[in-house]
C-alpha cells in the first residue's frame, strides 16, 4: 500500500522550487495561488533568502503550495486511484487535507494563509521558542520538561521530542537537561503546538465555517492521535485545534504501519519525514520527492505499490 506524506515547517530551503518550474503547469498554478494568498510564491520558492522563507507567514503557504504542485506532477489523476493513505506533519496536514479532497486547493491556501498569520501573531505576543531533545529515557525527558513548564510539542518517534515554551523555560532546560539527552535550539518564531498558540485557534475557528469540506478520499491519518479520520468536517476541526495541540508523528507512523504501508512517498520539500519513516517503520520503501528528477523513480513506486488495499 502506498502512503503519501507532506512535510512541515522547516523543510523549506532557498530555491527548492526552481527545478519544478520546468514541469508543465507548475508555474501557472503557483501564480494563481499567489493571488489567493497574497504572496509571490514563485519568488519565495526560487529567489528568496533563507531568512525570508523562514518567516512563518511565508513558509506555511509556500509549503502547502509546493506539496500540492508536486502531488499534481506525480499523481495527475489524484490520490484515490493509487494511494491508500495520506498524512502530513503540522502544516503538512493542510496539504494532506487538500490532496485527499477534504478542502479544495484554494480553500486550503486560504486556510494556511490565515493560519500562518495567526501563528505569527500569537508568537509575537510572547517570547517563546522550541528545542529538539534527542535521546534520553522518554519518561525522564517527559518529567524534565514538566519540571520546567515546557510542552512536548512534537513527538517524532525514535527518541525525538521537540520541547516548546517561553525562552526563559528553554534556558532553564538548557542549564538542566534530561540525563543522556542532547538539546538543539530550533530556528522558529515561537512555541507552536502549545497553549501559547491559543489566539491562533480562535482566529481559525472563525474562518472554518466559511470553508466547504468533503470526506477524505483515502485514509487520512491525524497528527492529534494517529487515528484515521473519515469525516471531512472532523478533519477541519482538527486542523483548527492542531495549532495549539502537540504533533504526534510517532503515532501517525504506527498507524501507517498498521494500515499495511509498503511504500511512502514524501512530497516536496522532501526528506525529513522519509528519514523518520526509515528509522521507525521497518520494511517500507521510501522516496523523498525533492526535484522532478525523482519523478521517474517515484512513478515506479506508484506502479509497484499503488492501488493495494489497506489492512482492516
**DSSP H or E run through 162:** strand 160-166
- Reading the block at residue 137, the C-alpha cell is 529515557
Q: Residue 255 burial (CB < 10 Å; 0-12/13-18/19+)?
A: buried
90 included as an active-site residue: yes
- Going by their DSSP bridges, the two strands 151-157 and 247-248 should be labelled as parallel
CA distance 262 to 219: 15
Distance of CA 221 to the CA centre of its chain: 12
- Whether the CB-CB separation of 100 and 86 falls below 8 Å is answered with yes
How many alpha carbons fall within 13 Å on the CB side of residue 102? 31
Residues 169 and 148: beta-carbon distance below 8 Å: yes
Residues in the chain: 312
Q: How many CB atoms lie within 10 A of CB 184?
A: 10
**196 counts as catalytic:** no
| 90, 100, 116, 268: the active-site residue | 90
Of 148, 193, 196, 305, which residue is the catalytic one? 193
Contacts of 175 (CB under 8 A, 6+ apart): none
Residue with cell 486511484: 81
Residues with catalytic function: 90, 193
Amino acid at each position: 500500500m502506498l502512503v503519501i506524506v507532506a512535510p512541515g515547517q522547516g523543510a523549506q530551503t532557498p530555491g527548492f522550487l526552481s527545478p519544478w518550474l520546468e514541469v508543465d503547469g507548475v508555474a501557472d498554478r503557483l501564480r494563481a495561488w499567489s493571488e489567493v494568498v497574497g504572496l509571490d510564491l514563485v519568488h519565495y520558492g526560487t529567489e528568496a533568502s533563507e531568512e525570508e522563507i523562514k518567516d512563518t507567514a511565508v513558509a506555511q503557504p509556500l509549503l502547502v503550495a509546493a506539496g500540492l504542485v508536486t502531488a499534481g506532477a506525480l499523481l495527475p489523476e489524484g490520490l484515490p486511484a493509487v494511494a491508500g493513505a495520506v498524512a502530513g506533519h503540522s502544516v503538512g496536514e493542510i496539504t494532506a487535507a487538500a490532496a485527499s479532497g477534504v478542502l479544495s486547493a484554494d480553500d486550503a491556501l486560504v486556510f494556511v494563509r490565515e493560519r500562518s498569520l495567526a501563528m505569527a501573531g500569537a508568537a509575537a505576543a510572547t517570547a517563546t521558542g522550541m528545542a529538539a531533545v534527542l535521546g534520553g529515557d522518554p519518561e525522564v525527558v517527559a518529567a524534565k520538561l514538566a519540571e520546567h513548564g515546557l510542552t512536548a510539542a512534537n513527538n517524532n518517534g525514535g527518541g525525538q521530542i521537540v520541547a516548546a515554551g517561553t525562552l526563559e523555560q528553554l534556558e532553564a532546560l538548557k542549564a538542566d537537561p534530561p540525563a543522556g539527552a542532547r538539546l538543539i535550539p530550533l530556528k522558529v518564531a515561537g512555541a507552536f503546538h502549545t497553549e501559547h498558540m491559543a489566539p491562533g485557534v480562535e482566529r481559525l475557528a472563525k474562518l472554518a465555517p466559511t470553508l466547504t469540506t468533503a470526506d477524505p478520499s483515502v485514509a487520512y491519518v491525524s497528527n492529534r492521535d494517529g487515528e484515521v479520520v473519515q469525516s471531512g468536517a472532523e478533519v477541519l476541526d482538527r486542523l483548527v485545534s492542531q495549532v495549539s495541540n502537540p504533533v504526534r508523528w510517532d503515532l501517525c507512523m504506527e498507524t501507517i504501519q498498521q494500515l499495511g504501508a509498503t511504500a511512502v512517498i514524501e512530497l516536496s520539500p522532501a526528506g525529513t519525514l522519509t528519514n523518520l519513516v526509515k528509522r521507525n517503520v521497518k520494511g517500507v520503501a521510501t522516496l523523498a520527492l525533492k526535484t522532478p528528477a525523482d519523478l521517474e523513480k517515484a512513478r515506479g513506486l506508484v506502479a509497484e505499490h499503488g492501488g493495494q488495499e489497506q489492512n482492516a
